[in-house]
């Protein structure tokens, strides 16, 4: 029987360097000879990407109710798990995902103030016990991450999505909720200082990854 693949997630606020470092993690794992599926949430399948658009589109005439937002996040997750994540893990591939359920606790829990117990109910219903083997949390003060994001948005002429339009208090609550999650799950989550130079961040990330992979052999 094929051994189940490992499930690794990258987390953190906007602009902390998740996308930049995801590529590095993928390359590192491929170097170890693993089949790797790189994906993201919300999204990762065409249908789930449709739901992502609903979540990110800033429709000013009709604000999205927090519970509707929460259910859409889990609807996208259910589709992504069924179509991409579970099949990959079952055939022995490793899955590296840009954001997962810790983001729901951070954004819908911390940011939108939905009770964690309600998120946990949907988590249990949707995931049926599946959770990441390792979560790399990129942490840094939100103001500095915001400056990176401003440069990126400016450089690409992008506009801000529904979340990127939130206020500083929202992002601070997101950050604190992420840190609280990491403190309560130290065996699964590794906190990485994302404010350092990219080379330093990469080195710390790979060190944490190797450390954890050594315990899986």
Ligand X SMILES: Nc1ncnc2c1ncn2[C@@H]1O[C@H](COP(=O)(O)OP(=O)(O)O)[C@@H](O)[C@H]1O
Ligand Y SMILES: Cc1cn([C@H]2C[C@H](O)[C@@H](COP(=O)(O)OP(=O)(O)O)O2)c(=O)[nH]c1=O
44 touching ligand Y, by CB under 6 A: no
* Residue 51 to residue 54: CA distance in whole angstroms: 5
95 touching ligand X, by CB under 6 A: no
Both structure tokens of 93: 């591939």
175 touching ligand Y, by CB under 6 A: no
Of 81, 99, 87, which Cα lies nearest the Cα of 135?
Answer: 99
One of 18, 40, 175, 181 touching ligand X (CB under 6 A): 18
Q: Which of residues 132-151 bind ligand X (CB under 6 A)?
A: 148
Beta-sheet strands, E only, within 7-100: 7-11, 36-40, 94-98
198 touching ligand X, by CB under 6 A: yes
6 touching ligand Y, by CB under 6 A: no
H-helix segments, 65-167:
66-80, 86-90, 101-104, 116-127, 142-156
Cβ 104 to ligand Y shortest distance, Å = 4
* Residue 41 to residue 88: CA distance in whole angstroms: 16
Cβ 121 to ligand X shortest distance, Å = 28
139 touching ligand Y, by CB under 6 A: no
17 touching ligand X, by CB under 6 A: yes
**Other beta carbons within 10 Å of 111:** 23
Cβ 18 to ligand Y shortest distance, Å = 6
The helix-helix angle for 198-216 and 18-31 (nearest 10°) equals: 40
Q: Which range touches ligand Y (CB under 6 A), out of 31-39, 83-91, 95-103, 136-144?
A: 95-103
Element (H, E) at 175: helix 168-184
Cβ 28 to ligand Y shortest distance, Å = 20
Q: Which residues here bind ligand X, judged by CB under 6 A?
A: 12, 14-20, 148, 152, 197-198, 201
């Amino acid at each position: 029987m094929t051994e189940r693949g490992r499930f690794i997630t990258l987390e953190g606020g906007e602009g902390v360097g998740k996308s930049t470092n995801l590529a590095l993690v993928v390359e590192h794992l491929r170097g170890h000879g693993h089949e790797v599926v790189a994906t993201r949430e919300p999204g990762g399948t065409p249908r789930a990407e449709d739901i992502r658009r609903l979540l990110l589109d800033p429709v000013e005439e009709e604000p999205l109710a927090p519970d509707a937002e929460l259910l859409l996040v889990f609807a996208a997750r259910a589709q992504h798990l069924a179509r991409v994540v579970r099949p990959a893990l079952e055939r022995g591939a490793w899955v590296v995902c840009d954001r997962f359920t810790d983001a729901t606790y951070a954004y819908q829990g911390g940011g939108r103030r939905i009770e964690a117990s309600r998120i946990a109910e949907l988590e249990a219903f949707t995931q049926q016990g599946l959770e990441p083997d390792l979560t790399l949390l990129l942490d840094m003060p939100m103001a500095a991450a915001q400056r990176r994001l401003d440069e990126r948005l400016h450089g690409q002429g992008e506009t801000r999505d529904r979340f990127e339009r939130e206020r500083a208090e929202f992002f601070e609550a997101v950050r604190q909720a992420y840190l609280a999650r990491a403190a309560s799950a130290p065996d699964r989550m590794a906190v990485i200082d994302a404010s350092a130079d990219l080379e330093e961040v990469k080195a710390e990330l790979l060190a944490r990854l190797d450390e954890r992979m050594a315990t899986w052999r």
